[in-house]
Amino acid sequence: MTKALILILAYLLGSIPFALVVGKVGYGIDIREHGSGNLGGTNTFRVLGVKAGLIVTIADILKGTLAASLPVLFSVDVHPLLAGLFAVIGHMYPIFAGFRGGKAVATSAGVLLFYSPFLFVTLVAVFFIVLYISKYVSLSSMLAGVYAIIYTVFFTDDIPLMVIVSLQAAFIFYRHRANIRRIINKTEPKVKWL
C-alpha cells in the first residue's frame, strides 16, 4: 500500500460520522438538526443521552487510534501522527456528512492513545479536572489541548509530536470559536452531572 493510500484511508476513517450513524440507526434522529448541530460526542450526550454519547465518543477516539496505527499495520513509511492528523481532518470535514463534522477532540485524543498512551491518560485526567471545576466541556477540551503542548515541549524531545499536538490544539480552538464567545458571555451550557 502506498503512502497516499494510507493517508486517504486515514481520512476516510476519520470521516465516519458515528454521531450521525448512531442517531439515525438507533434513534431515528439526524443529530445535525438538534442541539448544537455538531457531529460529536458532546452533542450526542446532550441530545441522545449517556449511552449514545459514550458509544460515539469511544468510536471517535478509536477511529483516531486505528488511523494512526495504519502505517504500522501495513508496513508503510508514513509517520503514525501524520496518518492520525488526516483522520482528525476527516472528523472535522467528513466526506460522508457534507464536510460538516465534529470539533476534533475525541479523534485527536485517539491518535495520542496510539502514539503516546501516557499523554493520552494525563490528557483525560486534565480534561476531567477542568470539567469538574468549570462544568464546561468546551473549556476542558481546549485546556487539555494547551496541556498537551506544554507536556510535549517541556517533557519530550519528540518534534513530530510537538508539531502534531500543536496543530491538534489549534484545530480544537478554531472549532470552538463560538463556544469561546459563549463562555465570555456566560451563555455556554454547563454539564449537569458533575
Distance from C-alpha of 59 to C-alpha of 44, rounded to nearest angstrom: 12
DSSP assigned state of 78? S
pLDDT for 68-95, tens place per residue? 999 999 999 999 999 999 999 999 999 9
Dihedral sign for Cα 184, 188, 192, 194, please.
negative
Q: How many CB atoms are located within 10 Å of the residue 42 CB? A: 25
DSSP assigned state of 39? -
Q: How many CB atoms are located within 10 Å of the residue 36 CB? A: 17
* Cβ–Cβ under 8 Å, residues 36 and 48: no
pLDDT in tens, the chain (194 residues): 699 999 999 999 999 999 999 999 999 999 999 988 888 899 999 999 999 999 999 999 999 999 999 999 999 999 999 999 999 999 999 999 999 999 999 999 999 999 999 999 999 999 999 999 999 999 999 999 999 999 999 999 999 999 999 999 999 999 999 999 999 999 999 988 76
- The closest of 145, 12, 183, 148 to 91, measured between CA atoms, is 12
Instruction: Locate 160 and state its grid cell.
Output: 513530530
Distance from C-alpha of 84 to C-alpha of 181, rounded to nearest angstrom: 29
Dihedral sign for Cα 30, 33, 34, 38, please.
positive
